[in-house]
Structure 1
Amino acid sequence: MTWTPHATVAVIVEDEQERYLLVEEVSGGLVVFNQPAGHIEEDEAILDAVRRETLEETGWEVEPTHFLGLYTYKAPANGVTYYRFCYSARALQKVSDRLDDGILATHWLSFGDIAELGNQLRSPLVLRCIEDYRNGRRFPLDVIVDAET
């Protein structure tokens, strides 16, 4: 069997009221909550994936501000290993109400509200990434170097 890890991005977007942008989505037949997140496409720069996934899943244009870390997760439901490049971003403007298939709604939630979601979070990384962000974890965007295309 060939091991095929998945490269994904996730985006922490905080507003002025210290709420975080989350998506409510269907995954594996369950309704769950996640950061705007998704797979990096072939030949796509990682920061472009950050902008694209956030726009497609929430209708918000964002500008990445920091790299938070590379998180690994092996999903028990399917055994797939995910490499999650997590970024923070600043919300620029809401430009669309159209959301990707599978996305039910977007929400701005406080940290307490997110923590209370418990098993409704898509993975433990949702809360972990927000906790790291709240604890001041920040790296410059150029810590990840994309090959020039």
Structure 2
Amino acid sequence: MVDSVPTAEIWRPHVTVACVVADGDRYLMVEEEVNGRLAYNQPAGHLDDGESLVAAALRETLEETGWTVELQHLIGVHQWRSTEHGDAVVRFSFAARAVSHDPDRPLDTDIRRALWLTRAEIAALGDRLRSPMVLLSIDAWLAGQRLPLDMLSYLPEGDPT
């Protein structure tokens, strides 16, 4: 017999996605307001219920930067406990290629601007980075860490396969 655990007692991390979008030696970043301070991050955000990881990464990048991107690889899956809210985060980091930009598209309300920075400029931001996963994912990409996107499967609700 399987014991049922009340939903409130099941531990659930935040599942997030992020995109490392490189253009030469520069990376697409966002400047955002977090708890009254400016922080810097890759285009990133939470996975929505019923959404695939790939769709979430594309959506978050567009909403936060106005850039349409094409995902190329999964860089890695990173686990971290947020110093911001204390909860666990599981982040799927993708490599993406910039396809087109809509400069007139309104950005998410907490996003101040999208900008392109070098790795050195990003590292110099220090504690203004939203999390250590920002540099971790860039460095994994620079080291050649690339996993095929078909490693990820999405089975929509009701799909019998």
Q: TM-score range by the shorter chain?
A: over 0.9
Q: What residue number does 2:69 align with?
A: 62
Distance 1:106 1:76 in 2: 23
**What is the DSSP-based 3-state SS (H/G/I as helix, E as strand, rest coil) of the residue aligned with 1:123?**
coil
CA distance in 2: counterparts of 1:95 and 1:147, whole angstroms = 31
Residues 10-65 of structure 1: per-residue CA shift (max 9 Å, x gap): 000001x3100000001122100000000011111111111100000000000100
Give the share of equivalent positions with the same residue, in percent. 43
**1:128 correspondence with 2:136:** yes
Equivalence map 1:50-129=2 (5 Å) = 50-97=57-104, 98-129=106-137
State the Cα distance separating 1:77 from its structure 2 match: 3.0
Cα offsets for 1:117-146 (capped at 9, x unmatched): 111100111011101011100000011111
Segments of structure 1 that go 5 or more residues without pairing to the other structure are: none
**Partners in 1 of 2:94 and 2:84 — Cα distance?**
25
Task: Give the aligned partner of residue 26 of structure 2.
Answer: 19
Letter in 2 for 1:67: L
Equivalence for 1:144: 152
Residues in 1 aligned to 2:19 and 2:43: alpha-carbon distance in whole angstroms? 6
Secondary structure, aligned partner of 1:14: strand
Q: Work out which of the two has the higher radius of gyration on C-alpha atoms and give 1 or 2.
A: 2
User: How large is the Cα RMSD of the aligned pairs?
Assistant: 1.2
Structure 2, unpaired ranges of 5+: 1-7
4+ residue runs of structure 1 moved beyond 4 angstroms?
Answer: none
For the 8 Å contact 2:33–2:39, the answer to whether it is kept is yes
